[in-house]
Homo-oligomer: A and B are copies of this chain.
Amino acid sequence: MNKDLKQYNEKAENLILEHLSGGNISDVIRKASTYSVEAGGKRFRPYLVFATLKSFGLDPAAGLSAAAAVEMIHTYSLIHDDLPAMDDDDYRRGKPTNHKVYGEAAAILAGDNLLTESFNILAQDEALDADIRIRLVQAISAAAGQTGMIGGQMLDIDAEGKDITMDELVLIHRHKTGRLISAPIESAAIIAGADDDTKALLLRFAEYLGILFQIRDDILDVEGDMSKTGKLSGSDARKGKVTYVSTYGLNGAKEQLDLLKVEAEGILESLSSKLDTGELYSVLEMFAVREQ
C-alpha cells in the first residue's frame, strides 16, 4: 500500500472509533463493537475508496465516511460469521472471536450495531451533498444486503456439503465477497461524480478484483500451509470445499489469476484517458500477489 494513502486508512479507523464512543449508552456495546474494529485486518476495502478517489485527482479525505461505512459492514459480517450458529470460529486474526470475549448476545448486538451505525456515519457526513450521501447509502446497502453480501452468505451456507459447479461457486463469491470489494470503488465513483461510462468500467474492474481476491485466497490456503507444513493440504481441502485450486489445480488457479489480471489491466488501459490509473494498477498488483 502507498504510504500517503495508507494514512487515510488510519483516519477512517479513527472516525469509526470516535463514532463508536460518541453517545453510546452501553459500555458493552461500545467495547464489543470497538474490539472487532481494533482487531485489525488488511483494510483493503477502505483503501480502495481512497485509491479510486486519487485516480480521479480528488482528495481521498472526501471518502472517509464511505470507507468507514464499508469497513464497519465488513467487520459486522465477520462477527456474525464467526458465531456458533454460523462458522463457529473461536479465533480470528490470532485473537479470540467477538462472542468468545463478550458472549453471543453481545456479539450479535455488536454486529447489528456496526451495521446500523455504518449508515449513521454516512448520513452524518455533511462534507458531502445530501444527494451524494443518499446514493452512497443506496449503493452500499445494495452491496451488503439480499442482492449482495447477505444473499451470497446464504447461498454459501446452502452449498455446504453439496457438490456445486464452478459457475455456482463464482456466483457465491461474486456476491459474498465481490460486492463489498466493488462497493468502495463504486462509492468513490459516486463521490467523484463519474460519468456512466467511467463508472461502468470501474465496476467491471472491481468485479475482476473481487474474483482475483478469491483466487488468491484459494492459492494462499494451499501455499500458506505448505510453507508451514510442507504438505499440499490447506483447510479448504480438509473441509472438502470447492475452490479454484480444487477445480483447476494450483498451477491452473495461478494461470487463471494471471489471465484475469491481464483482462483487468485492459480495463485500466481503457480508463487511462480519463483517470490517473497508477494507483489502480498498484491495487491490482497488490490483490494478485498478496501474501496475507
| Contact, CB under 8 Å: B120 / A142 | yes
| Contact, CB under 8 Å: A134 / B145 | no
Q: Which residues on B sit within 8 Å (CB–CB) of A135? A: 123
A265 located at the interface, meaning its Cβ lies under 8 Å from any Cβ of chain B in the complex:
no
Report the stretch among A150-158, A215-223, A234-242, A269-277 that lies at the interface: A150-158
How many copies of this chain sit in the oligomeric assembly?
2
| Contact, CB under 8 Å: B138 / A120 | yes
Q: Quick one: CB contact mask for A44-82 with B, threshold 8 Å, 1 for yes?
A: 000000000000000000000000000000001000100
Alpha-carbon gap, A66 to B27, bound state (A): 30
A26 located at the interface, meaning its Cβ lies under 8 Å from any Cβ of chain B in the complex:
yes
- Give residues of chain A (115-162) contacting chain B, Cβ–Cβ below 8 Å: 115-117, 119-120, 122-124, 129-131, 133-135, 137-138, 141-142, 144-147, 150-155, 157-158
| Contact, CB under 8 Å: B28 / A158 | yes
Q: Which residues on B sit within 8 Å (CB–CB) of A33? A: 146
| Contact, CB under 8 Å: B23 / A150 | no
Alpha-carbon gap, A142 to B150, bound state (A): 23
Q: Which residues on B sit within 8 Å (CB–CB) of A83? A: 85, 108
A259 located at the interface, meaning its Cβ lies under 8 Å from any Cβ of chain B in the complex:
no
Q: Quick one: CB contact mask for A99-118 with B, threshold 8 Å, 1 for yes?
A: 10001111011011101110
- Give residues of chain A (175-205) contacting chain B, Cβ–Cβ below 8 Å: 175
| Contact, CB under 8 Å: A112 / B30 | no
Alpha-carbon gap, A116 to B80, bound state (A): 14
Q: Which residues on B sit within 8 Å (CB–CB) of A99? A: 85
A24 located at the interface, meaning its Cβ lies under 8 Å from any Cβ of chain B in the complex:
yes
Q: Which residues on B sit within 8 Å (CB–CB) of A137? A: 119-120, 122-123, 133-134, 137
Residues of A within 8 A of B (CB): 20, 23-26, 28-30, 33, 76, 80, 83-86, 99, 103-106, 108-109, 111-113, 115-117, 119-120, 122-124, 129-131, 133-135, 137-138, 141-142, 144-147, 150-155, 157-158, 171, 175
Not counting A26-B150, A108-B108, a sample of 9 additional A-B residue pairs whose C-beta atoms are within 8 angstroms of each other reads A80-B109, A80-B112, A113-B146, A116-B141, A120-B137, A120-B142, A123-B134, A134-B134, A137-B137
